[in-house]
Amino acid sequence: MNAPLRVVLVEPEIPPNTGNIARLCAATRCELHLIEPLGFELSDRTLKRAGMDYWEQCVWRAWPSFEALSLEHPGGRFWYLTTKTKRTLWEAAFREGDFLVFGRETKGLPESLLEANEAHCLTLPIANPQSRSLNLATAVAATVYEGLRQLTSSRTT
């Protein structure tokens, strides 16, 4: 079975976030792609605890760089999640197999990547202007479920 969506974490830093995202990917049959360097060891016990026994059910792969992932998927469609755009994820029309790219918890995605892919940058709307951003695992879950909602709706119409 093909993954409905592919989650990409660029240089994730916090093990429990990545563990929770792995659990989400296992539950939704989405692939998980981890871009090195990681801010933790894959053997980290908090990573494993957050993912519990779901790591065995999760299809995932670590990559030495974002370029390596991109080169292996030349026809892939990538969406870049950032707080630095006004285009919301509700304005995107997700397709099966899309890559949802998220940056580091402390810095987000590199500016150069955002600038080179401005037409595919999306944000999750935040009603409270005093809130800078959402937790990474929360942002991934919201985006994955919006994508799955769209994919399910397109199959039934």
pLDDT at position 9, please? Answer: 98
Taking all residues of the chain, what is their mean pLDDT, rounded to a whole number?
92
Query: Mutual orientation of helices 136-156 and 15-28 as an angle, nearest 10°?
Result: 10
Q: Is the pLDDT of residue 128 over 60?
A: yes
Interatomic CA distance for residues 151 and 138, integer angstroms: 20
98: β partners? 5
The topology under which CATH files domain 5-156 is: Alpha/beta knot (3.40.1280)
Q: Which residue has the higher pLDDT, 95 or 157?
A: 95
Read off the pLDDT band of 41 (50, 70, 90). Answer: confident
CB neighbours of 42 closer than 8 A, spacing ≥ 6? 62
> Which phi and psi angles does 18 have, rounded to 5°?
-65, -40
**The predicted structure's pLDDT at residue 126:** 92
Domain ranges of the chain: 5-156
Percent pLDDT > 70 in the chain is: 95
pLDDT of residue 129: 86
Percent of the chain at pLDDT exceeding 90: 78
Note the pTM of the prediction, 2 decimals: 0.94
Mind giving me the DSSP string for 113-128? HHHHTGGGEEB---S-
